[in-house]
Amino acid sequence: MRDNLIICELSSGRRDAFSQVVDLIYGQWQDMEFCSDREKVSVRIQGRMIAGRLPFCYVASSTDDPSVILGTASISLHELPDLNQRVYWLSEVCVAARHRGRGIGRELISACIAKARELGVRELSLYTARQRDLYRSMGWTHDADIVVDGETCALMSIALT
Ligand SMILES: CC(C)(COP(=O)(O)OP(=O)(O)OC[C@H]1O[C@@H](n2cnc3c(N)ncnc32)[C@H](O)[C@@H]1OP(=O)(O)O)[C@@H](O)C(=O)NCCC(=O)NCCS
Please name each of the domains of the chain with its CATH number. Answer: 2-122 (3.40.630.30)
Per DSSP, 103 falls in state: S
Query: What pLDDT sits at residue 13?
Result: 83
Q: Whose CA is nearest to atom 35 of ligand 1?
A: 101
Query: What pLDDT sits at residue 150?
Result: 93
Expressed in angstroms and rounded, the spacing between residue 26 Cα and the centre of ligand 1 is 17
Query: What pLDDT sits at residue 41?
Result: 98
Q: Is 103 in the pocket of ligand 1 (CB under 6 A)?
A: yes
Q: Is 131 in the pocket of ligand 1 (CB under 6 A)?
A: yes
Query: What pLDDT sits at residue 21?
Result: 98
Q: Name the pairing type of β-strands 141-148 and 5-9.
A: unpaired
Q: Is 102 in the pocket of ligand 1 (CB under 6 A)?
A: yes
Q: Which residues contact 101 (CB under 8 A, 6 or more apart)?
A: none
Rounded mean pLDDT for each run of 10 residues along the chain, 161 residues in total: 88 94 97 94 97 96 97 98 97 98 98 98 98 98 96 97 83
Q: Which amino acid is at 59?
A: V
Q: Which residues contact 88 (CB under 8 A, 6 or more apart)?
A: 54, 75, 76, 77, 116, 121, 123, 124, 125
* Pairwise CA distance, residues 106 & 124, whole Å: 16
Query: What pLDDT sits at residue 1?
Result: 60
Alpha carbon separation from 23 to 14, 63, 82, 127, 135 (Å, rounded): 15, 21, 28, 21, 24
Expressed in angstroms and rounded, the spacing between residue 56 Cα and the centre of ligand 1 is 21
Expressed in angstroms and rounded, the spacing between residue 105 Cα and the centre of ligand 1 is 6
Query: What pLDDT sits at residue 2?
Result: 72
